[in-house]
Amino acid sequence: MDRYQQALNASKVIEDDAVVASEVKKIVEKAPGYASPEVYQLLFSSIDLTTLSSEDSVKSVTEFTQRVNDFDNEYPQYKNVAAICVYSNFADVVKNTLDVPGVDIAVVAGCFPSSQTFTAVKIADIALATEAGANEVDIVFNLGMFRDENYEDLCDEIIEQKHAARNARLKVILETGALKTAANIKKASILSLYSEADFLKTSTGKMYPGASLEAAYVMCQCIKEYYEVTGRKVGFKASGGVRTTEEALCYYAVVKEVLGDEWLNQDYFRIGASSLANAVLSSMENKEVKFF
């Protein structure tokens, strides 16, 4: 029995969908009580501000990045977003435009959003992106290998991509809308965790349903169990369809209730979004703001 199967067999994380839904309902009921200016600021500073359009260009990504620069000048009282997330070929554009400290350069790479290409192509994409300035790399979990239960090759591929990313943090996108069940999400989480993932991320937001609180709950439980076994902290990122402050608060509540306050910072908690930044900024300002 290989180490991946051993980890799957040893896990005690709940995989009953009805039980997961019941636990999530309890957490969601608590979420409004966490609303405060401090939590709004945390949510805002945990955003990976994202543009992933087929129409992205050097000009549009430059302008997108410049708005993050402008934020520091126009709202000096607030901490900026956690990262700017773009396609891998725009890493150097962000690097050459970004002039504020503390904002990371994140890219989607490795044949996002399908993960369907040669492993060598994925490795080259990641290596080129990190050389161009990316310090975070979001890749997609290989659903085809997962369906075939080809866990060893699947995990080997993630590890290869992790090594290609060098010092950049690797976020593995599980595409939970395709996995659907708590049992599948649990398996995919465990396989990714034992393949050196630095973050587990819910969704691409492209091909399948986006983030769900039920998926987040299972992923966070797996991260917690993994930490208890190994002592290694791995982050959680919700992505795909998180648009309102109220929705973001629910993900905050899941992380708080399952993982605790140690995870409630931009090193271990992210939300990938575009429109959410304006929504949370509006909550912070107590008026409608359309800055980004």
User: So which residues are the catalytic ones?
Assistant: 138, 201, 237
**Burial label, 25 (beta-carbon count in 10 A; 0-12, 13-18, 19+):** exposed
Backbone dihedral region for residue 115 (phi beyond 0: left; psi -120 to 50: alpha; all else: beta): left
47 forms bridges with which residues in the sheet? 271
Q: CA-CA distance, 212 to 207, in Å (whole number)?
A: 15
Helices 17-30 and 213-230 sit at what angle, rounded to 10 degrees? 100
Write the CA distances from 18 to 15, 143, 155, 194, integer angstroms: 9, 24, 29, 27
Strands (E), 130-255: 136-140, 169-173, 199-201, 235-239
Tell whether omega for the bond before 113 is within 30 degrees of 0, i.e. cis. yes
Q: CA-CA distance, 196 to 138, in Å (whole number)?
A: 13
Q: CA-CA distance, 119 to 115, in Å (whole number)?
A: 9
